[in-house]
Amino acid sequence: MKKIVLTGAAGRLGSYLREPLLRLAQELVSSDIIESIGTLHPNETYVRADLSDLSAMIDLLKGADMVVHFGAIGDEAPFDAILQANIVGAYNIWEAAHQNGVKRVVYASSIHAVGMHKKTDFIGTDVPHRPDTYYGLAKCFAEDLASLYWDKRGLESVCMRILSCAQVSNPRAVGSWLSYDDLIQLVEKSITTQITGFSIVYGVSNNDRATVDNSMASHLGFKPKDNAEQFAEKIYSEEEKLDPYDQGAVCQGGPFASVELGHSGVATMKIANDKKVI
Ligand SMILES: NC(=O)c1ccc[n+]([C@@H]2O[C@H](COP(=O)([O-])OP(=O)(O)OC[C@H]3O[C@@H](n4cnc5c(N)ncnc54)[C@H](O)[C@@H]3O)[C@@H](O)[C@H]2O)c1
């Protein structure tokens, strides 16, 4: 592959993907809205661009074989903010990909597209959308956009519904953890699988207590290796009793399921800032 474009390259997950993506293409174009991402790898360039600017996205995707789309507001936020970065931003990526003849969009979707489903339902990739926030609603929009651009324009997508890609720090994460190594494997499989059409897959490690079912995404060959059970005893011994009538405890979306619309869900979680630095 000649060229891959990564959006959200300055973000926490983007920081783990830059080097692996360079192994899959001759050239990586990393992009984000911030001024600079610091030291670049050989064969990597950086382009500062706003996802809500269609002409900037059309320029960014020129000559790209695939785009790995991780740029977004990564939390619940007021609707206007989500509208620009996550909804208009998604449209701009798919439209720019179409206009440039890009083969596939590999997309960081989220469990929050289906976050109001119960954890005890062990949901598959075919359950109806049931967003828990405006943030989740934007992920639903992007997944439907991916479906539309496949059906009408032949642009492939893999929508990776990531659960919790962060250090395990709470009881929910014992089921929802996606390790960084498994994230990298998932993105690699999403790129190298020959035919994906429009695919949905859950981004979750091989956790004993996983709450989602990936059997309909087996064509991607994703075989996660890590298991959060190694953290279970310590996490459960530290936490207070969970309330079975709290949406945040019983729904797939965790705290996002109980937070007020427009208010941060991430602020209620203990997420370590362990961004990878070169
Ligand atoms: N971390 C997780 O567990 C998790 C779970 C599900 C989905 N996701 C998705 O994965 C992606 C990356 O998540 P993350 O945890 O690395 O978040 P992050 O906030 O660290 O990274 C997102 C990046 O997007 C950039 N961005 C925001 N608005 C932009 C705009 N208008 N134009 C260009 N760039 C913009 C930000 O500057 C940031 O660097 C996001 O799409 C997020 O929704 C993450």
Residue 66, domain member (yes or no):
yes
CATH assignment of the domain containing 59: 3.40.50.720
Q: Ligand 1: distance of its center to the CA of 123 in Å? A: 24
Instruction: Tell me the best of 16, 73, 140, 264 to mutate to test the pocket of ligand 1, counting ligand atoms within 8 Å of each CB and taking the most.
Output: 73
Interior angle at CA 114, CA 188 and CA 181, nearest 5: 25
Instruction: Tell me the best of 165, 179, 268, 277 to mutate to test the pocket of ligand 1, counting ligand atoms within 8 Å of each CB and taking the most.
Output: 165
Per the structure, the count of domains in the chain is 1
pLDDT, position 268:
87
Residue 121, domain member (yes or no):
yes
Please tell me the distance from the alpha carbon of residue 5 to that of residue 110, in angstroms, as a whole number. Answer: 20
pTM recorded for the entire structure: 0.98
Surface-to-core class of residue 55, CB atoms within 10 Å of its CB (0-12 exposed, 13-18 middle, 19+ buried): exposed
Please tell me the distance from the alpha carbon of residue 77 to that of residue 245, in angstroms, as a whole number. Answer: 25
pLDDT, position 177:
98
pLDDT, position 183:
98
Partnered with residue 148 across adjacent β-strands are: none
The residue ranges of the chain whose pLDDT is under 70 are none
List ligand 1's pocket residues with C-beta within 6 A: 8, 10-14, 32-34, 50-52, 70-74, 85, 89, 108, 110, 162, 164-166
Surface-to-core class of residue 196, CB atoms within 10 Å of its CB (0-12 exposed, 13-18 middle, 19+ buried): buried
Q: Which helix (H) or strand (E) holds 231?
A: helix 229-238
Residue 72, domain member (yes or no):
yes
Atom from ligand 1 closest to the CA of residue 84:
31
Structure tokens at 254: 């965790």
Surface-to-core class of residue 270, CB atoms within 10 Å of its CB (0-12 exposed, 13-18 middle, 19+ buried): exposed
Residue 277, domain member (yes or no):
no
Residue 211, domain member (yes or no):
yes
Q: Ligand 1: distance of its center to the CA of 41 in Å? A: 21
Residue 276, domain member (yes or no):
no
Q: For atom 43 of ligand 1, which residue has the closest CA?
A: 74
Residues 6+ apart with CB under 8 A from 92: 51, 52, 53, 54, 57
Selection from 32, 38, 24, 2 nearest residue 276 by Cα: 38
Residue 273, domain member (yes or no):
no
| Measured CA distances, 18 to 15, 57, 138, 215 (Å) | 6, 19, 25, 28
Domain that holds residue 77: 3-268
Q: Ligand 1: distance of its center to the CA of 153 in Å? A: 26
135 is catalytic: yes
Residue 27, domain member (yes or no):
yes
Q: For atom 21 of ligand 1, which residue has the closest CA?
A: 11
